[in-house]
């Protein structure tokens, strides 16, 4: 490696999968998604063969907007010493997020924030590969002080101070090694959304739900919110298929206003839904609090569209959620997700990540495993979403055994795709799209 | 005009002004902004010479990201009949906002939402030019039913239903013509931010503050949040310059966490600040509520970075703001701003628009004037921000007389720039930038 290696390129690829043709991934607000990745590669002149790979997830149209936004961050990254970035990922994330001109585009939300998150995550992938560790383990072996340095506490101090964070992390220090060993031995529990897409017939729902239970899953999820009578029938069908011992979560993907969410869910209540996910606008903190209060003991979950740590802070302060659903590609990268994990731990609320997309399972497993090792210290009532498509495109795909994520051991963030997949699904010129567009 | 005219082009220009060289516009979070416009033009084959012009505002870097996002909306607009769009602007706005794939990029926030807003506003400009009316008057002469049709009530019904909106608009129907006449005769009150930028010396602050009072302004605004001792001195300087009869608002541009906002403002309280603007994160509804509760009777204002109607709804539900600061270029266009004006009216909270930028004064004056004519029906405690630069680039610039906005009479939204300005300030190839970049 040269005495001082530098980042020499930030490459961006627009990669799309024509998932809408199968109705995989269809829900009440996303009837025909083409799961897509605005894919980023950081390249260096270190000569060690390591690159940083990560992605922002979108559902098709607009993936070019997202890719353009990532590309526009190149001047903030290219030319910087690799060590400056990889040895101070907290500082690197803050340097992108607090650029005084770019921040107008958010601030810290939407396209610009997801672009930042993708670049920050690519830097973590690079740092972990250089350290020869999977990201969950790189994080899980940092000292509490090092972890606190990763976090941007701006706007959090009324709920979480650096001292609070340090206390949480120190409390979880004893037993880290046992928990690492336990993860390597037994993995982390998953639930599956694969049976429950709206486009599926009742027969397919029944078959997939039974297969899920047979495969060891203790929780499945159904999409709801299109037609009440259909939802009642599908919920009953699913309950009959899996029996009483399996949790069934339902997910409305923001379909309802506040009172309609309450009314609709009361009709599904006889079939014992475990949580209602995204009952209304992801921005509606007070709305979620009203829904939760009306529907107790049905739990309320949200997060995949929650823009940043300030929104999560308020969902927790307002008692609006029972379940925090972090997403690996929505917020400003791993650093902001560490802040969100710490907030959830401070409020004692379990984290059950969102992962329905492409590459989201691969990336987010690292965060839940890190949380188990070094933050909450528990897997109780915690599950990572699992959706069973598109994993074949990844170099180090997630592996599910007996309904649990196997802890990854390969260095990095697991987001790297096969070169052939990147080529075939390139939009609009790759062979998969050339005929379709 | 052809029997059926169509939109034939959506042109986008990246236009930037090197305002950072003068420290105009400098504040605690935006130390060196280059006020910029991602400028959009809708062209038709109607043969009537009318185009739709509008812009998304940014502060420099990232204006290319914003322009790219607007350009990506062209397939949703180009080829559509002009009448379909101009006769159903509510439907047009919803068709962009609820595209099931694009919405992942927000939803309804940040770059994609500002892009939508720019295109929707350009359509309003086109519609108003075709109707030969300024936008405020086009809106102010619509029936309550027509206005309700402009609004997307999704996620609002726990605070504002279509029936509520109709009631508000019908209540304001009597007297519309008198209020139109009053606007044409006397205009709408303004306040000025021009004295208070952080980069200015005390002497310049004193001189500009006195000039503001002499020019007829009854309110000025100071940027605060960089250094407490400086702020105390500047606030005292400003108060001494203007005397007790003039309101002095202060603006922290999101600089503080919740408790620091309270502590800092208590030190400025002896100089009677009228409102504190953006004391903390624009996403922090509960934080604003805490600040307001602690600082009463100092008012709390926010809005220029508030992403959408759902966030404004909650600011009002939570009693978090005394002043709603709409922005013409942040949310999804005029349609969403109508929703926000209705929400403010429902909660009885005055609207005092943000307009520090380029083109923002020009556009937002139409919304306040419409509000006076057809929604709130009052100007009491309502003022539109005025910043005195860059107006020379507009075909129909705002005019201020005796501290009041003169009601525009030219058809459209007033956002159209001179062709020569668009050329000279084009980034990065226009002559103004060619030397600098």
Three-state SS string over A240-275 comes to HHHCCCCEEEEECCCCCCHHHHHHHHHHHHHHCEEE
Q: Which residue of A has its CA nearest to B311?
A: A283
Give, for B56, the enclosing helix (H) or strand (E). strand B52-58
Question: What three-state secondary structure class fits A405?
Answer: strand
Residue A427 is predicted with a pLDDT of 98
Distances (CA, A) of A11 to A187, B75, B190, B371: 33, 26, 48, 48
Tokens of B24: 């105009």
**Which residues, 6 or more positions from B276, have their beta carbon under 8 angstroms from its beta carbon?**
B249, B250, B251, B252, B261, B265, B291, B295, B298, B299, B300, B301
Assess if residue B271 is contained within a domain.
yes
Mean pLDDT for each consecutive 10-residue tract of chain A (437 residues)? Answer: 85 96 76 94 97 98 97 97 97 96 97 98 98 98 98 98 98 98 98 90 96 96 96 97 97 97 98 98 98 98 98 98 98 98 98 96 98 98 95 98 98 98 98 90
* Residue labelled with tokens 């995550």: A121
User: Concatenated DSSP letters for B112-124?
Assistant: HHHHHHHHHHHHH
Residue B218 touches chain A, beta carbons under 8 Å: no
Whether B2 shows a pLDDT value over 60: the answer reads no
DSSP secondary structure letter of residue A320: -
Q: How far apart are CA B63 and CA B111, in angstroms?
A: 10
* Residue labelled with tokens 């979950």: A301
Give, for A290, the enclosing helix (H) or strand (E). helix A285-295
Assess if residue A57 is contained within a domain.
no
* Residue labelled with tokens 């939802």: A231
Q: How many residues does chain A have?
A: 437
Q: How far apart are CA A137 and CA A128, in angstroms?
A: 9
pLDDT digits (tens, 9 = 90+) for B306-361: 999 999 999 999 999 999 999 999 999 999 999 999 999 999 999 999 999 999 99
Q: What is the CATH number of the domain that holds B253?
A: 3.20.20.120
Domain count, chain A: 1
Residue B194 is predicted with a pLDDT of 87
CB A382 within 8 A of CB A375: no
Could you tell me which of A5, A31, A420, A423 has the C-alpha nearest to residue A226? A31
User: Concatenated DSSP letters for A9-69?
Assistant: EEEEEEEE--GGGGTTT--SS-SS---EEEEEEEEESSSS---EEEEEEE-STTHHHHHHH
Distances (CA, A) of B273 to A65, B238, B265, B327, B382: 42, 10, 9, 22, 16
CB A194 within 8 A of CB A388: yes
**Which residues, 6 or more positions from B388, have their beta carbon under 8 angstroms from its beta carbon?**
B192, B194, B400
CB contact under 8 A, B112 and A290: no
Distance from CA of B247 to the nearest CA of A (A): 28
B134 alpha carbon, distance to own chain's centre: 17
Q: Could you tell me whether strands B188-196 and B384-386 are parallel, antiparallel, or unpaired per DSSP bridges?
A: parallel
Q: What confidence tier does B437 reach under pLDDT thresholds 50, 70, 90?
A: confident
Residue B15 is predicted with a pLDDT of 98
User: Concatenated DSSP letters for B191-225?
Assistant: EEEEEE-TTS-HHHHHHHHHHHHHTT-SEEEEE--
Marked catalytic residue, from A223, A346, A366, A393: A223
Q: Which residue of A has its CA nearest to B160?
A: A257
Residue A410 touches chain B, beta carbons under 8 Å: no
ipTM tops the 0.95 cut: yes
CB B368 within 8 A of CB B183: no
Residue B199 is predicted with a pLDDT of 81
**Which residues, 6 or more positions from B125, have their beta carbon under 8 angstroms from its beta carbon?**
B51, B52, B53, B54, B135, B412, B413, B415, B416
The angle formed by the CA atoms of residues B129, B132 and B138, to the nearest 5 degrees, is 85
**Which residues, 6 or more positions from B257, have their beta carbon under 8 angstroms from its beta carbon?**
A154, A155, A156, A157, A158, B280, B287
Residue A23 is predicted with a pLDDT of 67
Assess if residue B382 is contained within a domain.
yes
Residue A414 is predicted with a pLDDT of 98
CB A432 within 8 A of CB A424: yes
Give, for A194, the enclosing helix (H) or strand (E). strand A188-196
Could you tell me which of B427, B435, B434 has the C-alpha nearest to residue B17? B427
CB contact under 8 A, B283 and A308: yes
Assess if residue A34 is contained within a domain.
no
Assess if residue A46 is contained within a domain.
no
Of the candidates A105, A109, A283, the beta carbon closest to that of B310 is on A283
Of the residues B101, B116, B309, the best mutation for testing chain A's interface (the one with the most A CB atoms within 10 Å of its CB) is: B101
Packed helices A334-347 and A89-97: angle between N→C axes, nearest 10 degrees: 100
Could you tell me which of B417, B364, B381, B401 has the C-alpha nearest to residue B184? B401
Assess if residue B132 is contained within a domain.
no
Which chain B residues touch A62 with a CB distance below 8 Å? 72, 101-102, 104-105, 112
CB contact under 8 A, A30 and B101: yes
pLDDT digits (tens, 9 = 90+) for B162-171: 999 999 999 9
Which chain A residues touch B306 with a CB distance below 8 Å? none
Which chain B residues touch A314 with a CB distance below 8 Å? 283-287
Residue A3 is predicted with a pLDDT of 66
* Residue labelled with tokens 């630069």: B389
Q: What confidence tier does B31 reach under pLDDT thresholds 50, 70, 90?
A: confident
Three-state SS string over A123-147 comes to HHHHHHHHHCCEHHHHHHCCCHHHH
Phi-psi region of A10 (alpha: psi -120 to 50; beta: other; left: phi over 0): beta
Global pTM value: 0.98
Q: Which residue of B has its CA nearest to A29?
A: B100
- Neighbour count for residue B87 (Cβ, 10 Å): 12
- Mean pLDDT, rounded, of chain B: 96
Assess if residue B318 is contained within a domain.
yes
Active-site residue, A354 included: yes
Residue A285 touches chain B, beta carbons under 8 Å: yes
**Which residues, 6 or more positions from B26, have their beta carbon under 8 angstroms from its beta carbon?**
B20, B32, B33, B197, B198, B199, B223
Provide the chain A residues 239-258 that lie in CB contact (below 8 A) with chain B. 254, 257-258
**Which residues, 6 or more positions from A387, have their beta carbon under 8 angstroms from its beta carbon?**
A25, A192, A193, A194, A355, A356, A357, A361
Whether B3 shows a pLDDT value over 70: the answer reads no
B255 burial via Cβ count (<10 Å: 0-12, 13-18, 19+): buried
Assess if residue B13 is contained within a domain.
no
A275 alpha carbon, distance to own chain's centre: 18
Give, for A404, the enclosing helix (H) or strand (E). strand A404-405
Residue B201: which domain range?
176-421
Tokens of B10: 């959506």
Residue B334, phi then psi, degrees to nearest 5 = -55, -35
Which chain B residues touch A105 with a CB distance below 8 Å? 58, 62, 65-66, 110-111, 114
Tokens of B334: 């005029």
Three-state SS string over B322-371 comes to CEECCCCCCCCCHHHHHHHHHHHHHHCCCECCCCCCCCHHHHHHHHHHHH
DSSP secondary structure letter of residue B406: P
Of the residues A98, A101, A226, the best mutation for testing chain B's interface (the one with the most B CB atoms within 10 Å of its CB) is: A101
Higher pLDDT, B14 or A2: B14
């Amino acid at each position: 490696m040269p005495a001082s290696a530098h980042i020499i390129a930030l490459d961006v690829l627009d990669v799309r999968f024509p998932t809408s043709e199968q109705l995989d991934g269809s829900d009440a607000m996303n009837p025909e998604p083409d799961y897509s990745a605005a894919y980023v590669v950081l390249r260096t002149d270190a000569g060690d063969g390591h690159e940083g790979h990560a992605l922002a997830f979108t559902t098709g149209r607009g993936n070019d907007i997202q890719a353009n936004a990532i590309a526009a961050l190149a001047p903030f990254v290219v030319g910087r010493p690799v060590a400056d970035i990889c040895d101070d990922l907290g500082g690197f994330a803050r340097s992108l997020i607090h650029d005084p001109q770019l921040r107008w585009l958010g601030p810290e939300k939407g396209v610009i924030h997801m672009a930042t998150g993708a670049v920050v995550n690519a830097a973590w992938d690079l740092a972990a590969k250089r350290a020869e560790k999977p990201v969950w383990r790189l994080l899980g072996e940092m000292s509490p002080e090092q972890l606190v340095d990763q976090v941007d506490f701006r706007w959090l101090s009324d709920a979480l101070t650096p001292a609070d964070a340090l206390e949480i992390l120190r409390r979880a220090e004893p037993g880290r090694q046992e928990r690492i060993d336990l993860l390597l031995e037994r993995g982390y529990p998953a639930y599956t959304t694969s049976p429950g897409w709206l486009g599926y017939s009742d027969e397919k729902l029944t078959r997939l739900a039974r297969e899920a239970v047979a495969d060891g899953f203790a929780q499945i999820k159904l999409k709801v919110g299109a037609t009440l009578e259909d939802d009642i029938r599908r919920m009953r069908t699913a309950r009959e298929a899996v029996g009483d011992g399996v949790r069934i979560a339902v997910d409305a993907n923001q379909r309802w206003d506040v009172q309609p969410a309450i009314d609709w869910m009361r009709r599904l209540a006889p079939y014992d839904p475990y949580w209602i996910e995204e009952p209304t606008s992801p921005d509606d903190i007070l709305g979620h609090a009203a829904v939760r209060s009306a529907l107790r003991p049905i739990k309320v979950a949200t997060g995949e569209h929650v823009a940043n740590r300030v929104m999560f802070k308020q969902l927790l302060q307002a008692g609006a959620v029972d379940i925090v659903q972090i997403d690996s590609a929505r917020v400003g990268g791993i650093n902001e997700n560490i802040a969100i994990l710490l907030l959830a731990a401070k409020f004692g609320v379990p984290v059950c990540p969102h992962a329905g997309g492409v590459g989201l399972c691969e990336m987010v497993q690292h965060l839940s495993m890190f949380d188990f090792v070094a933050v909450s210290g528990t897997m109780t009532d915690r599950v990572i979403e699992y959706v069973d498509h598109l994993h074949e495109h990844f170099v180090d795909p997630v592996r599910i055994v007996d309904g649990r994520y196997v802890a990854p051991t390969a260095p990095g963030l697991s987001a790297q795709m096969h070169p052939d997949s990147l080529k075939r699904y390139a939009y609009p010129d790759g062979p998969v799209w050339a005929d379709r567009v």
